[in-house]
Structure 1
């Protein structure tokens, strides 16, 4: 990540998150540079890769192929810098798998990973094409045996020219893969944390006297 020590060194299209918000935009993805000034760190984003602040009254996005591809791109970008990326990566994987089942996406081949995970022995991933966009998934045994190797990792597919907020992207993908409905149903069926109280039997007093007994 490039670092600047003076404000006048920063390119005019590099903005902090607060500066972007003042002009009605939000950053997309991770910061690309930082300004270290007076013992303070300001993370910088490219204004050309920012998105308009979504209106609360914005119409719900339709699950078109382009919208789904952009949503996957946004989720994938945020997952790379998220402290807990598991949910985002799982959402990305679920969406890509459903697109492939529907015939709207297909596996192209294998690419060498530049940063293989220490938790996985394989050093390559499967490239999946969605329209004009490309994404990587962990390769299955069938992928490793049947797909051609495309060489080094590259960005041969174009990046999106427009973007959504992370909240919009997650909402669209959850609706597409059905997570929102499943979660709602599960919440309705979820048992109460505390079981209903059982009726207590009356305690017999040691001084109880049966008046029906003859004396």
Structure 2
């Protein structure tokens, strides 16, 4: 596997609710809005938004599944911001055509644990374009598969990440949908006021390796999870 050593910049996504940032003027704050499917069935509630501080773009909404129509256990999952639609008249977010299986395979989101993300072409996909959320205000206009999922694993050793890469290729995944990115887990983040906050993602003593997979369907996401976590 060939890879440029510094091909991708590593960033952390921030929770809007605990940051100094606000939603742009003229756009609704959807935190606490109900989330429904195309049949107006309850999926849960938006509890937060995760955004890229450098680019100042929202990447995910955090969906709490409490009270969902399929009686799934209460937990929080991440939904790419671009797959959602707004029903601003009723303060609701719509996830058109989403299925129970698509939600089941999404990993838990643990509040306070910022997502480590690569600034790669994965985030160039329309499912991560926040302008799509505000452009689609009528339900039923999004007809493609959802959600476009990014499954991430962090490895201590490069050979572990490369072995996982090869295993995924052997099981039908495209090389273009898999990224292995080295990073040093000691990050310094500077806010707009110039204050520097050093956050320890790991021990900072050496590089670790992030493997990210863009899963194009719920079935593919489920396969990736089985391959990467065979004991679970």
The two structures have a TM-score, normalised by structure 2, of 0.19
The two structures have a TM-score, normalised by structure 1, of 0.20
Q: Which structure features the higher share of helix residues?
A: 1
Q: Which structure features the higher share of strand residues?
A: 2
Higher gyration radius (CA)? 1
